[in-house]
């Protein structure tokens, strides 16, 4: 689903929700999951266990002039069901975009996974112009779901 300020993609993955959740809540796994090519490594990031926690990623992209870091503030957490975070350039309050992974068990060995990239709360007109949302297109989100499926089945 694409609308003017969010993109959601879904995929059925042949793995239990708890296994997928374990992969998603370890920030270092997002280097392998990321379909955009922006995520390079984790600078600081213990397993996500609650909202309000933070992890720091090393990133690279032309939109930011090369290498940069992001602070990622956990905004959603429900064990084996949901994890999400608001991303910001390091040292800056989150300007309004969020990543949300939702898991819905489909029996014991399969899960419907939805990834949503939402920038509906970005109100800074200069930032909206600079970053040209959506910064990450739908096909990159689809690639992230494919990477996640490969990671949990390996």
The pLDDT value given to residue 12: 98
pTM, two decimal places: 0.92
The pLDDT value given to residue 15: 97
Q: Label residue 3 by pLDDT band (50, 70, 90).
A: low
- For 46-90, the pLDDT digits (tens) are 999 999 999 999 988 887 788 989 999 999 999 999 999 999 889
Tell me if 62 sits within 8 A of 56, measured CB to CB. Answer: no
Query: Which of 113, 119, 114 lies closest to 136 in space, CA to CA?
Result: 119
Segment 20-47 mean pLDDT: 93
Segment 110-128 mean pLDDT: 91
Token couple for 56: 């720091």
* Mean pLDDT computed over every residue of the chain: 92
Beta bridge partners of 78: 82
The pLDDT value given to residue 154: 67
- For 124-140, the pLDDT digits (tens) are 888 777 777 788 999 99
The pLDDT value given to residue 98: 96
Q: 32: which DSSP letter? A: H
Query: Which of 144, 140, 153 lies closest to 11 in space, CA to CA?
Result: 144
The pLDDT value given to residue 43: 87
49, 78, 87 from 152: Cα distances, Å: 19, 19, 24
Percent of residues, the chain, with pLDDT higher than 70: 97
DSSP-assigned letters across all residues of 129-148: HHHTS-SS-HHHHHHHHHHH
CA gap 33, 38 in Å, rounded: 11
């Amino acid at each position: 689903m694409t609308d003017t300020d969010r993109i959601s993609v879904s995929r059925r993955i042949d793995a239990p929700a708890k296994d997928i959740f374990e992969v998603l809540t370890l920030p270092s796994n997002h280097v392998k999951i990321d379909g955009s090519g922006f995520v390079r490594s984790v600078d600081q990031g213990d397993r996500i266990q609650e909202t309000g926690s933070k992890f720091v990623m090393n990133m690279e992209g032309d939109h930011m002039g090369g290498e940069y870091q992001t602070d990622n503030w956990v905004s959603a957490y429900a064990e084996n069901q949901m994890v999400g975070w608001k991303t910001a350039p390091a040292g800056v309050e989150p300007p309004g975009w969020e990543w949300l992974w939702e898991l819905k068990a489909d029996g014991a060995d399969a899960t419907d996974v939805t990834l949503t990239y939402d920038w509906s709360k970005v109100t800074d007109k200069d930032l909206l112009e600079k970053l040209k949302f959506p910064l990450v297109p739908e096909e990159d989100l689809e690639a992230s779901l494919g990477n996640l499926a490969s990671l949990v089945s390996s």
